[in-house]
């Protein structure tokens, strides 16, 4: 049987032909390989250079290779975080004409690391919690899309830190199945496998001395179940809100925040019966919110202030007719930064929010009543006051009403605060 390369891009076969397919992966010369950290795998995996691309090459039988290639392409089409499939190479033979196993070729996910590389420096428990949260987000997104993983584990996941955000990516789809919708039993089976696998992997790290002494592998393995269940319930619970009622949307965002997640994207669908809201969660590291707020608006704020202002900005933008969530350009490599232009529109809307919402609201507060509060703190306080009043009234009282009430009842009590006034 002749060598065959089934690829997603017409350019890839020519680049891949340069690799030594007549040799088993274990025997590939160093000149073809890229020295990147590899995770534990039941198959032989190597990183190699194909033209300007760094690719991961996994050796396995033809049928599972074709199947996994197809599943990864399906996941790519439905925008699930997973490695990018490039090709399947079949019909390999050695110099003596003996058959060799087929290989699956995927694009290396730039900036990503397998979990064992992350644990080489004995991660702090707080960082471990964020990584587990990222894995919980990935598993929830897979299940929402109807994908039963069948082998969720740290070994089958790559982690990437990007501008303060932690993201988990599926690496091994060999055991997976894609359905129109998963049953509760299918989800629970995946979750139980995740718990057992993660606990076992952490026990291995503990035995090698790479686990922080305060971490209990069994408890940490069980934690993903709790994080998953809370996130699943918060994301799948169907709610329809009266049009323009930010208070109810904010309540959902606060519950996600309480679970340790932020909102990466929010979509509002309008209908005669009300607005339905869909949230996409993400896990972020400390310092992410101030950087994001500064990039979008030019406002410099502390962590909690920035988080609060970004939530308000996202809620406001989602109601604007010219808002569209940022999406990758079709065909762009993951991590390339190329988007459909929605990112630029988001920046335009963010500056409009500063001009039409943030600044007028802050200026409504008399300078003599501001004490030592800077504009970000004033706006944060006003949002908190609106939240308090809306909770008490059980409906959104609006920002203008909240500002008036805050000036009349709250600020007179804080006039003694030291510090210069700010505008």
Of 191, 196, 248, residue with least CA distance to 391: 248
Q: Please check whether residue 258 lies inside any domain of the structure.
A: no
Please tell me whether residue 219 adopts helix, strand or coil conformation.
Answer: helix
Instruction: Return the structure tokens found at 194.
Output: 């995740």
Residue where a domain terminates, one of 55, 77, 108: 108
Q: Please check whether residue 222 lies inside any domain of the structure.
A: yes
Mean pLDDT value across residues 254-266: 70
Same domain, 97 and 126: no
Instruction: Return the structure tokens found at 353.
Output: 């929010």
Say if CB 306 and CB 292 are below 8 A apart: yes
Q: Please check whether residue 223 lies inside any domain of the structure.
A: yes
Same domain, 137 and 81: no
CA 91 → CA 40, 87, 275, distances in Å? 26, 13, 54
Q: Please check whether residue 270 lies inside any domain of the structure.
A: no
Q: Which residue has the higher pLDDT, 319 or 175?
A: 175
Does 336 score more than 50 pLDDT?
Answer: no
Q: Please check whether residue 379 lies inside any domain of the structure.
A: yes
User: Packing angle between helix 342-353 and helix 303-318, nearest 10 degrees?
Assistant: 110
Q: Please check whether residue 69 lies inside any domain of the structure.
A: yes
Of 311, 308, 303, 299, residue with least CA distance to 422: 299
Same domain, 310 and 397: yes
Same domain, 312 and 203: no
Say if CB 18 and CB 105 are below 8 A apart: no
Tens digits of residue pLDDT in 14-55: 778 889 999 999 999 999 998 887 777 788 999 998 888 899
Q: Please check whether residue 248 lies inside any domain of the structure.
A: no
Same domain, 132 and 82: no
CA distance linking residue 362 with residue 229, whole number of Å:
39
Q: Where residue 355 falls among pLDDT bands split at 50, 70, 90? A: very high
Task: Report the pLDDT value the prediction gives residue 245, as an integer from 0 to 100.
Answer: 60
Compute how many other C-beta atoms are within 10 angstroms of the C-beta atom of residue 420: 9
Distance between alpha carbon 236 and the CA centroid of its chain, in Å?
A: 17
The H-or-E segment that residue 295 falls in is helix 288-297
Domain of residue 398, residue span:
289-329+340-414
Same domain, 131 and 186: yes
CA angle 258/279/129 to nearest 5° reads: 40
Residue where a domain terminates, one of 211, 237, 263: 237
Same domain, 302 and 372: yes
Task: Report the pLDDT value the prediction gives residue 334, as an integer from 0 to 100.
Answer: 35
Say if CB 193 and CB 176 are below 8 A apart: no
Does 321 score more than 60 pLDDT?
Answer: yes
Same domain, 223 and 310: no
Mean pLDDT value across residues 134-145: 91
Same domain, 120 and 135: yes
The total number of structural domains in the chain stands at 3
Same domain, 122 and 146: yes
Instruction: Return the structure tokens found at 185.
Output: 């039993």
Same domain, 85 and 135: no
Same domain, 99 and 118: no
Of 173, 116, 118, 185, residue with least CA distance to 142: 173
Tens digits of residue pLDDT in 226-250: 989 988 988 777 666 665 566 677 7
Task: Confirm whether pTM is higher than 0.85.
Answer: no
Of 107, 80, 100, residue with least CA distance to 25: 100
CA distance linking residue 22 with residue 183, whole number of Å:
44
Task: Report the pLDDT value the prediction gives residue 1, as an integer from 0 to 100.
Answer: 63
Q: Please check whether residue 30 lies inside any domain of the structure.
A: yes
Looking up tokens 């609060």 gives 308
Return the minimum-mean-pLDDT range out of 341-350, 359-368, 405-414. 341-350
CATH number at residue 143: 1.10.510.10
N-terminal to C-terminal alpha carbon distance within the chain: 75
Task: Report the pLDDT value the prediction gives residue 419, as an integer from 0 to 100.
Answer: 43
Mean pLDDT value across residues 179-187: 95
Task: Report the pLDDT value the prediction gives residue 59, as an integer from 0 to 100.
Answer: 94
Kindly state the DSSP code that residue 52 receives in the 8-state scheme. T
Residue where a domain terminates, one of 86, 108, 130: 108
Residues in the chain: 423
Return the minimum-mean-pLDDT range out of 24-38, 86-100, 123-137. 123-137
Instruction: Return the structure tokens found at 378.
Output: 């004033």
Rg, C-alpha atoms of the chain: 25
Task: Report the pLDDT value the prediction gives residue 418, as an integer from 0 to 100.
Answer: 46
CA angle 338/343/348 to nearest 5° reads: 145
Kindly write down the DSSP assignment for every residue of 166-184, as one continuous string.
EEEEE---TT-EE-SS--H
CATH number at residue 88: 3.30.200
Say if CB 368 and CB 421 are below 8 A apart: yes
């Amino acid at each position: 049987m002749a060598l065959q390369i089934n690829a997603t891009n017409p350019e890839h076969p020519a680049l891949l032909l340069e690799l030594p397919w007549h040799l088993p992966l274990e025997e590939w010369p160093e000149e073809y390989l890229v020295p990147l950290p590899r995770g534990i795998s039941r198959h032989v995996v190597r990183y190699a250079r194909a033209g300007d691309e760094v690719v991961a090459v996994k050796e396995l039988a033809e049928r599972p290779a074709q199947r996994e290639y197809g599943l990864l392409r399906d996941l790519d089409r439905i925008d699930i975080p997973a490695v990018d499939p490039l090709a399947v190479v079949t019909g390999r033979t050695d110099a003596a004409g003996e058959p060799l196993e087929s290989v699956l070729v995927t694009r290396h996910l730039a900036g990503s690391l397998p979990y064992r590389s992350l644990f080489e420096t004995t991660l702090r428990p707080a960082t471990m919690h964020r990584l587990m949260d990222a894995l919980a987000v990935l598993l929830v997104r897979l299940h929402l899309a109807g994908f039963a993983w069948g082998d969720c584990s740290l070994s089958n996941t790559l982690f990437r830190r990007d501008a303060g955000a932690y993201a988990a990516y599926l690496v091994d789809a060999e055991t997976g199945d894609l359905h129109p919708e998963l049953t509760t039993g299918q989800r629970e089976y995946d979750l139980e496998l995740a718990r057992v696998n993660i606990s076992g992997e952490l026990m291995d790290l503990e035995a090698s001395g790479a686990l922080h002494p305060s971490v209990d592998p069994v408890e940490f393995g069980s934690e993903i179940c709790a994080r998953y269940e809370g996130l699943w319930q918060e994301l799948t619970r169907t709610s329809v809100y009266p049009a323009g009622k930010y208070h109810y949307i904010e309540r959902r965002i606060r519950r996600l925040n309480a679970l340790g997640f932020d909102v990466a994207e929010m979509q509002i669908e309008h209908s005669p019966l009300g607005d339905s809201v869909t949230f996409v969660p993400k896990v972020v590291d400390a310092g992410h919110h101030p950087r994001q707020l500064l990039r979008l608006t030019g406002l410099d704020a502390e962590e909690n202030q920035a988080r609060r202002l970004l939530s308000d900005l996202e809620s406001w933008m989602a109601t604007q007719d010219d808002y569209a969530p940022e999406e990758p350009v079709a065909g762009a490599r993951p991590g390339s930064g190329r988007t459909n232009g929605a990112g630029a529109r988001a920046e335009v809307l963010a500056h409009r929010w500063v001009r039409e919402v943030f600044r007028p609201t802050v200026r409504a507060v008399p300078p003599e009543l501001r004490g030592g509060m800077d504009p970000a703190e004033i706006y944060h306080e006003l949002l908190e006051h609106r939240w308090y009043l809306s909770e008490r009234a059980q409906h959104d009282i609006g920002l203008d009403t909240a500002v008036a009430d805050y000036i009349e009842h709250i600020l007179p009590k804080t006039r003694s605060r030291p510090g210069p006034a700010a505008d």
